[in-house]
Structures are given as structure tokens and as C-alpha cells.
Amino acid sequence: MVSYISLIFYILAFVHIALFLYSGSRNVRNLFNIFMMLGLLSNLYELIIRFMETGLAPTSTLYDLMLSLSLSFGITYFILYAKYRRPLVGLFISPFMAAALVIAIFYPPTITPSYPVVDSIWKVVHLPFIVLGTTFLVAAFVASVMYILQEAQLKKKKFGFIFQRFPALDTIGNINNTSLTIGFYFFTIGAVLGFIWMLQNNLEELLSSTKVVFSVLTWFLYAALIIFRRIKPLTQRQTAQWTIIGFVLIIITYFGVASFMLR
Amino acid sequence: MLVVLGLNHNSAPVTVREKMAIKKEDMEPIYKKFLSENNVQEMFLVSTCNRVEYYFVIKDYLCDKCDIHSPICDKCEIYSMVAANCNLSVEDLMNYTYFASGRQAVTHLFAVASGLDSLVLGEPQIFGQIKDSFDISKECNGMGVFLNRLFEFTLKTAKKVRTVTGISENPVSVSYAAVELAKKIFSNLSEAKAMIIGAGEMCELAARHLVGSHIGSIIVTNRTFEKAVKLAEEFSGDAVTFDRFASKLSEVDIIISSTGSENFVVTYDMILDAMKKRPSRPMFFIDIAVPRDIDPKGADVENTYIYDIDDLKSVVEANKKEREKEAKKAWDIVHNAAYAFDDQMESLKITPVIKNMRNYFEEKRNEELQKYCEKFKITDEKEIEHLNYLLTATLNKILHKPFMNLKEHATDDAKYSIAEAVEIIFNNK
């Protein structure tokens, strides 16, 4: 199955970026990007094939959703790489991509959605935005973790290989800010479309689902963070800390989604 | 054969080094003088603040292991030649210099160009200086086939050392290490502002490194305002009076301080006040003064990073160790390159032999063709051309394998009997 091939590429990519962290070799870094790209292409190929076979949107089943999520992580990585040329973000992103594919492999496409509202057009347009928004917000989380690690090393004056390879503090901060902003806007568009979808269906039942509760909570947290940063400048560290809390909420939301889709 | 006679920071004190040093404008007559010597075929000179080296390509080099006073010793002759040029006695010269010949001399040159023999291990400037030395030699007609090839190998080897190993990656001077650390906070120094507190030598050096790293702008402050103005002018910066610098702190990102003050010049309160005005943008303090100028408690303020001289020294020491590790890899590259150069030069020796053989065979072909045409009264040019084509093609076929074998075995160290040599050359397996 193609998802196995993608998974192998992502695992190879992770191994290479870990080696780059240790050795700093440019060749290893280039190999990482090649494996990421190959993984991404096979991932995309599988989604296209699935669409041509079933005619369903690439977010119809948990299997498709996880494939899309993995693809979206790849797109997020390459957008950030094109802007900042810092491959180490991929050290933390590639495991997410691999994990999404492992979940996909665990829940093969034979399991079809049982929930009655899933075939709405609003869902088809809502989910890609949510998925892309999520992956950018996860990238913001990754940058936040990197920021906290790098800042701690600068404060403690420890200059190991992590310090050497990680980007400068302001670059990590910028990656965080960019990811946060893009992620939030995509997430907001997705949430609005999701709300329209919700209005067309059984509002009461949906409102009581864990997924929706945590989605709204997550959105509010990021909205507060973005608005608060405009009013009173936060330090990059505070931004990083709030982004990490936001990520925890995203994870809970996704568990909600998983239970919802498998219900 | 290549020989080198030279001195550097390890072999000679500065008093001797300055006697041996050669100014650029004095080089041409020296080249003329040495190149007029019978046995010097090619030469080039390297003269930097830490090293002076004479490289000669000597024809029929005999030995350098015999007694220095022996009249047939080439080494002795070279010492005498160089001693006469720099007004030193041969004995003095021998005390302070090193000498190498053949592959050792080639290895030495590759190591020098790669920064392996430099005072600061892996420093990159020497590479440019060696390149310049070759250029001067070219201008003074010192370069021939040997040195041209050596030049190519030297550049290739030094570049390989720099790209394959990390020998010049980690800074090994305090001020440079400080600037490199600043780059770990501000990736683009051209968007950052720096303040230099003090106008001494260390401050000047730090400012030089900052400007070299394209810092956005520099502010200089000093108790003696005139000195601050002078330093600021040198680096196209602004000067502020010492009583006003605290009010400017919040505007700058990097602060480097080195004054002779007994008390803290930048206090905790100053740092706190400055950071209140710029909470989201970090400040990096580098304190290279002893006693310290910047209150270390300032590091407790969020988004501030304070490094003193000991912190920087520990960075430098760690980097030095890192470079020493990389130097081992670099030496492997240098040794391999020296062997490869030797092999190539050896293989070149076979070229005239092959050329002579080819000429001989072609001469015979022409003679036989002429005889044949005369004997059978062949005058038609077309027919002669066809015959010539046939003979040339046969000759090429016959000679191809022996010539290839000759080239392949040209650098063999083993000694062969005539029979063995013929067997190797004509072996068609």
C-alpha cells in the first residue's frame, strides 16, 4: 500500500534530520528534504487515487483524514522551509507525519463513516481548512518548544550540538509567529464553515460533542493569544508557553474527532 | 623536486621573523636573483606576519641528509643562498628555520594553505595569502609546469579541507566568539543595533567583528568623549556622552562593554528599565571587562542574556578542542592530496617517453609507406591516402595497449627486469 511507502519515507526523513542535528552535514540535510518530498508525493498520489476510486472528499474517513493531515504537515513544513530555510522544524514535524500515517494504517479505509451528516458540502470545504490550520498551529507548537529549549541553553550557557544546530532565537520566534498567524486564520475559516455545516444538521447533538467543545475552546485560546499580543506585547517566551497550551487543546480535540468518526 | 625552507611563529621569535620578512615590492629582484641560479627551475615566496617561506623547484636534487658543510649538498647550497639574501648566517638560519623536500614539502604547503600550521588553527586568511604568493610568482616568472600543477592541487586541497571538515567553523577569539553568540539571538545582525561601552583595544576589536558581520548601526560611549567620537567615526557609528548612555540602552540590542571601572557600569536597574520599554525584543550583553562592567543579576530580567569574559573563554576553549578534532580529518586529506600530487607528477614523467616512441613509430610508418609507393610506382593520391589510413589505424591498434600499460604503471615503485617490463607493457590480457 502506498501509505506504507510514505511512512517509510517519513521515517527515513526523521532519521536523517536527527543525524543532521548531530553532525550538521549538509548532505544529510539535503537527503532529509528529498525524503520529505518523496513522502509527500506518494502521500498526495494515494489521496488522488483514493479520490478517483471513491469520489469522496479526502477527509471522509479517518483513514483519509489522517492521510490529509500528514500531507498538510508536509505542505506546512515546505512553506516554512521556503521562507526560513531552517530544516530542523522538520525534526519535530516528521514524527507527526509518521504518526498520522500509523493511525491511518491502523484504521484502514474499509471502516466507513457511520455518522449521518458527513456527506455535506460544508464538511468537504470545512475540513481542509481545519487540517491546514491545525498543522500550522502544530508547527507553532514545534517552534515554541524549540524556542524554550534554545533560550534555556543561552541562559544556562550550554553550547552543545543542539545549541549549534538550532536557529537563532529571533528566527525561531518568527517561525512561531508566522505559523501561529497562518494557522489561526485557516482554523478560523474552517471553524466558520464548520459552524454553517453544523447549522444544517442536528445542532443540539453536535454542540454536545467533545470535538466541538474543544474546537471552540482551542479557537478562543488562539484568538485571545493573537489579540492579546496586539494589545500588550508579550515576550516570545510567553507566546511560546501559550502556544504549547493551545497545542494540548488541539490534541484533545483530535481525540474527540477520532472518537466521533469511529462512533 | 620541491624544497621548502621557512620559519614561522613556532620556529622563530618575532625579531628573526621581521629580519626574514619580504615586502611585496622587494620580491621581484629576489625572484630574479634566485631564478638565475643554475639549479633553481621554479620558485615562489610566502611572506606573512607569522611566516616566511621559500619554495624552490630544484633540478637534479641530490640529497638533504648529508652533512651541511659538504660541498655537494643541495640543502647546504639552498641555506647559503637564502642566508645571503636576508643577511643572516647559515648557522642562525638553521637554528630558526625548517626544511623539507619532496612529498614532505608538498604536504607542508597543503597544510599551510589549509590553516593547519597557523597560529590560530584553521584561520582562513592564509588561504588568500598563499593564492596571492602564487600570483606574484606568476608575475615574476617563477611558475613553471610543476608549480602550476602544485598551485591547482593546493587550492583544491585547501578548499576540500574547508568544506569537508569544520576546521574554521567555530570562533577561537573572545571578541569573535561574542559576535557569533550574538548571531544565535539575532539571526540578521544588519537589523540589530549595538552599543560599545569603552574605547579600548578590546572594544575596537569587537566593533571590527560587528562591522564585519554587517551590524545595522553602532553607538559608542566612553568616559573620554573624544575617544568615543574617534572610534565611532572609524566604524561610521554615533557617539554618545557617558552620562547619556543609559537612556539609549533600550534602543540597542547588543551591548559590549570593556571599561576600567571598579563598579558596575550597567546596573540591574538600568537593564530592568530598558527591558520595560522593549519587553518583546531580547538584549544581549557582553562583558569583556575585569572587574566586570555589567551586573550579572541583570540576567534574571526576562529576555536578557549576559555573558562575561569567562563564559566567552569557555566557548573559545570548547571551540579550540572542536577544531583540533577536525584537524585530524584535515591532515588525512592533506596527506592523501600529497600522495595524489606525487602520483600525478610521476605519471607526467612518462609523457615524453610515450611521445618519443610515437614519433619513432610514425617516422618508420612514413618511411615504409614511401618505399612501398616507390617500389610499386603508386602515384595516385587517393590510393596513398588509403594506404596511409590503413597503416595509421594498424599502428594505433598496436600501440594503444602498450601506451595504456605504460601510463598505468608509470608510478609503480617496484623494480622490474627487462623481461618483466616487456611482459607488463605488451600484456594484452
Residue pLDDT, tens place only, B156-186: 999 999 988 888 887 778 888 888 899 999 9
- What single-letter DSSP state applies at residue A168? P
- Are residue A139 and residue A258 in the same domain, yes or no? yes
Q: Rank B65-79, B176-190, B217-231 by mean pLDDT and report only the highest.
A: B217-231
Contacts of A163 in chain B (CB under 8 A): 184
Question: Once rounded to an integer, what is the mean pLDDT over residues B359-366?
Answer: 93
Q: In whole angstroms, what is the distance from residue A208 CA to residue A34 CA?
A: 44
Count of beta carbons in the 10 Å neighbourhood of residue A124: 17
- Are residue A218 and residue A179 in the same domain, yes or no? yes
- Are residue A131 and residue A213 in the same domain, yes or no? yes
Contacts of A157 in chain B (CB under 8 A): 307, 311, 314
Q: What is the pLDDT of residue A208?
A: 63
Query: Which residue is it, cell 519515507?
Result: A9
Q: State the cell numbers at A77.
A: 513544513
Cα of A85 to nearest chain B Cα, Å: 12
Considering only alpha carbons, which residue of chain B is nearest residue A86? B187
- Are residue A122 and residue A223 in the same domain, yes or no? yes
Which amino acid, B367?
E
Do A66 and A50 touch, CB atoms closer than 8 A?
no
- Are residue A142 and residue A249 in the same domain, yes or no? yes
- A158 near B CB under 8 A: no
Give pLDDT tens digits along chain A (263 positions): 778 999 999 999 999 999 999 888 888 999 999 999 999 999 999 989 888 887 777 766 778 888 999 999 999 999 999 999 999 999 999 999 999 999 888 887 765 554 444 556 777 788 889 899 999 999 999 999 999 999 999 999 888 888 889 999 999 999 999 999 999 999 999 888 888 877 777 666 666 666 677 778 788 888 988 888 888 878 899 999 999 988 888 887 777 666 665 55
Q: What is the pLDDT of residue A259?
A: 65
Measured on CA atoms in the order A148, A154, A156, A160, is the torsion positive or negative?
positive
Q: In whole angstroms, what is the distance from residue B327 CA to residue B319 CA?
A: 12
For chain A, what is the domain count?
Answer: 2
Q: What is the pLDDT of residue A258?
A: 60
Do B292 and B264 touch, CB atoms closer than 8 A?
yes
pLDDT digits over B224-275, tens only?
999 999 999 999 999 999 999 999 999 999 999 999 898 999 999 999 999 9
Q: Do B315 and A236 touch (CB under 8 A)?
A: no
Q: Give the residue from A58, A84, A112 where a domain finishes.
A: A112
In chain B, what are the domains? 2-164 (3.30.460.30), 174-317 (3.40.50.720), 334-426 (no CATH)
Measure Cα distances from A45 to A1, A34, A77, A126 in Å: 11, 16, 18, 22
Range of the domain at A85: 1-112
- Given the cut 0.95, state whether the ipTM is greater than it: no
- Are residue A153 and residue A236 in the same domain, yes or no? yes
Q: What is the pLDDT of residue B73?
A: 62
- A230 near B CB under 8 A: no
Which amino acid, A105?
I
pLDDT at residue B429 is higher than 80: no
Backbone angles phi, psi at A27, to 5 degrees: -60, -40
SS3 B127: helix
Query: Which residues of B participate in catalysis according to the annotation?
Result: 49
Q: What is the pLDDT of residue A261?
A: 56
CA geometry: angle A16, A236, A133, nearest 5 deg: 60
Q: Give the residue from A61, A91, A112 where a domain finishes.
A: A112
Residue B198, judged by CB atoms within 10 A of its CB (0-12, 13-18, 19+), counts as buried
pTM for this structure?
0.71
